[in-house]
Amino acid sequence: MLRDAARGFLDDAAPVSNLRANRDAGRPYDPALWDEMVKMGWAGVLIGEDDGGSDMGFAAANTLAEEMGRTLAASPFLSTAVIAATTLRRAGAPGLAEIASGAATYALAIDEGPKFAPAATRMAARADGNGFSLSGTKTFVGEGTSATRLLVLAQSEAGPTLFSIDAERAGISREKLDLVDSRDHARITFDDVVATGEDVVGEVGQGLAALAPGLRAGQAALAAELTGLSAGAFAMTAGYLKERKQFGRHIGSFQALQHRAAHLWSEIEVTASTIVNAGRVLDATPDEADLAVSLAKARATETANLAVREGVQMHGGIGMTDDFDMGFYMKRARVAAEWLGDYGYHAAVVARARGDAA
């Protein structure tokens, strides 16, 4: 029921043309669309009822993310309703009611280099009176220009520490990054930004532990989005195969293209099962979900790559033009493949969990 409701809403309110309109208007996402998502309870899908949420669980959050991927719907859902909500809830930190109501949106400021590596964080959190002074630069920050609050990982004397701070706090500057997927990404610089003890999420020096539940949830939801993206690209490609004629025949009747389409469909189905499994494990034993989540993200990355390459090739020349929507799927797949860990990162997690790597 949730999937059907989400698909009906997104097909009507957030088709791929909506992403094109956002890009052309220079806006990170459609605020009216996010307001509607909030009204439907999507912002509180992982928040308890006492804080205004519906507490439907990770499998439900993945279902919503997958349907958003089908139409490339742009919103702060992943960074806010999944990563921030899970992190704050597990840490017992305030702010959940503001997320559920739509009053606050979050961005995750952890990346500093070309690859996802939270443990390699070098941004400084220098002790300053009863609080901290944050200095350094974060890059590839999803929803970085639009978020009202930031989850920031920095190195204190006691070790990595996670902070939740107002995005407009003095000393913070945000620079928009123009990535190929036309979504909201930023480079954020912190220049002696004051953070108090109340801004700390979890315990001082235990930032990686505080962040881990949110990262697992976000990686699973991003994998779900990529799987939905693959299904959306496949549906567009299959529709084109049934319409385009060559040599007096629909090209979908050519056996070589049928084999390729069947192979892609099979890969999407197998990957979809890893998404279901990741949601199940996160709901049942969230602290033991690393293998299930990384398997889902690795497979979803590879499947999306296959889906968009096949989509562009089977569309022929028009698949490479901006006038046709297939290119938007390829661009989003490329960026999402890197966020929260690329294929190599998650394949290594799977290998270690299986005892195949040191």
Chain centre distance of CA 97: 21
Look at residue 187 and give its three-state secondary structure: strand
**Residue pair 267/258 in contact by the 8 Å Cβ criterion:** no
Burial of 334 (0-12, 13-18, 19+ CB in 10 A): middle
- What pLDDT is stored for residue 101 in this prediction? 97
- What pLDDT is stored for residue 357 in this prediction? 58
**Gyration radius of the chain's alpha carbons:** 21
CATH superfamily, domain 208-354, is Butyryl-CoA Dehydrogenase, subunit A, domain 3 (1.20.140.10)
Contacts of 109 (CB under 8 A, 6+ apart): 138, 141, 144, 150, 151, 152, 153, 188
Tell me the mean pLDDT per 10 residues along the chain, length 358.
95 93 91 96 97 97 98 97 98 97 97 94 95 97 97 97 97 96 96 96 97 98 98 91 81 84 96 97 97 98 96 83 89 97 96 78
Return d(Cα 190, Cα 169) in angstroms, integer.
10
Same fold, 2-103 and 108-206: no
Question: φ, ψ for residue 322 (rounded to 5)?
Answer: -70, -20
Query: Which of 102, 174, 101 lies closest to 144, judged by CA?
Result: 174
Return d(Cα 185, Cα 220) in angstroms, integer.
20
Annotation: CATH topology of 108-206: Butyryl-CoA Dehydrogenase, subunit A; domain 2 (2.40.110)
Domain borders along the chain are: 2-103, 108-206, 208-354
CATH superfamily, domain 2-103, is Acyl-CoA dehydrogenase/oxidase, N-terminal domain (1.10.540.10)
Return d(Cα 19, Cα 67) in angstroms, integer.
15
Assessment of whether the complete model's pTM goes beyond 0.75: yes
Report which residue type is found at 333.
A
Return d(Cα 330, Cα 11) in angstroms, integer.
19
